[in-house]
Amino acid sequence: MTQPMRLRGVRHHLADRLFHWGMALTVIILAATAFLPVVGIRFDWVPLHWTAGVALLLLVLFHLVRVFSTHGAREMVPRADDVREIGQVMRGGTTHSLSGAKYDAFQKGFHLAAALTVLALLATGLPMLAKIDTRFWRRDPSILSDTTWGMIYVMHGAAAMVLLFLVILHVYFAVLPEHRKFLTAMIFGVGPEKARKGNP
């Protein structure tokens, strides 16, 4: 027998909401500074881009500390229930018989895709810092060969396009009426404690 989903409770603590919206802001800045010059809008985009990239790295490190010190990684690890949930939805069924969890299979899947994409962007973006002059270091592009630089640029650009798609997808699903409660929870913190109904 299933129990109804708890509708009210603390779903996201303040630190986690600040991380989410801080990441959203840095991703918007990164996207704007990366794509606006491509469409002909000229401005000094490099300082904004690398600064936002470093800010994104710090936010990800903060998030990882929160995950391993407060939340635990198990919340986002796919389980057998998640595989069954996807199967039920693909067959047109419901997920009410599955065990209760804060995140459903599709939220976990999106998180995994976004995490891998952001990590790819950071891994390819950090070496690019060697190609710019700042007040903290001098440029030294000789640390890598031209071939390696080319591979890094291709992977960085591909990951950027994937992240842009994921952001559009995220915003689309966030504003759907049936998902609005998750959006308000990310703003105010209060919302459904579970993403689906669960067994007692």
Q: Measure the CA angle with vertex 108, ends 115 and 88; round to 5°.
A: 150
Instruction: Decide if domain 14-188 falls under CATH 1.20.950.20.
Output: yes
Question: What pLDDT does residue 117 have?
Answer: 97
pLDDT at 200 over 60: no
Between 187 and 73, the more confident residue is: 187
- pLDDT confidence bin for 115, thresholds 50/70/90: very high
Amino acid code (one letter) for 58? L
How many helices (DSSP H) and strands (DSSP E) are in the chain? 6, 0
pLDDT at 89 over 80: no
Question: What pLDDT does residue 198 have?
Answer: 44
CA–CA separation, 54 and 61 (whole Å): 11
Q: Which of 6-15, 74-83, 155-164 has the highest mean pLDDT?
A: 155-164
Distances (CA, A) of 92 to 34, 84, 86, 97: 40, 12, 10, 14
Average the pLDDT over 152-179 and give the result.
Answer: 94
pLDDT at 51 over 90: yes
Average the pLDDT over 148-152 and give the result.
Answer: 96
pLDDT at 172 over 90: yes
Average the pLDDT over 110-137 and give the result.
Answer: 93
Percent of the chain with pLDDT over 70: 89
Could you give the count of Cα atoms lying within 13 Å of 79 in the half-sphere of its Cβ? 12
Q: How does pLDDT run across 1-21, given as a tens digit for each residue?
A: 333 444 467 888 899 999 999
Q: Where in the chain are the domains?
A: 14-188
